[in-house]
């Protein structure tokens, strides 16, 4: 938990969100400003600012993130098992919230490269 972190506040429930899934270590909620018909944020409950701050002790947690991504990606019918998982690191890569999170987007034809 980090003071003034918007995702820590969502995790603690002091800021509301549309939660769609929760495990012991991870919460998944709808992005407030979706860029595609399905736009979820997979967020570890532990306050880790970015990939740059991961350590070996987070290996199991990162495995859990991808297990959750697979579960959502293969069970949300609208996705038809086609989706993208995105992690932005640092402001020039588009990271706005400094609490590690994984965008899961889909439900439309996605293009490449991203902006």
Which positions lie near Zn ion, rule CB under 5 A? 2, 5, 7-8, 47, 99
Which positions lie near ligand 5GP, rule CB under 6 A? 6, 15, 17, 29-33, 41, 88, 94-97
Closer CB to ligand 5GP, 61 or 97, in the complex: 97
- Do the beta carbons of residue 73 and residue 63 sit within 8 Å? no
Residues with catalytic roles: 101
Q: How far is CA 3 from the centre of its chain?
A: 20
Q: How far is the CB of 55 from ligand 5GP (least distance, A)?
A: 21
């Amino acid at each position: 938990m980090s003071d003034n972190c918007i995702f820590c506040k969502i995790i603690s429930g002091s800021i509301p969100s549309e939660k769609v899934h929760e495990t012991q270590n991870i919460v998944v909620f709808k992005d407030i400003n979706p860029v595609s018909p399905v736009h979820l944020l997979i967020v570890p409950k532990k306050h880790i600012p970015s990939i740059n701050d991961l350590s070996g002790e987070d290996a199991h947690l990162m495995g859990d993130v991808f297990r959750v991504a697979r579960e959502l990606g293969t069970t949300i019918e609208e996705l038809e098992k086609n989706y993208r998982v995105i992690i932005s690191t640092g402001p020039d890569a588009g990271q706005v919230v400094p609490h590690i999170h994984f965008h899961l987007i889909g439900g439309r034809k996605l293009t490449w490269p991203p902006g």
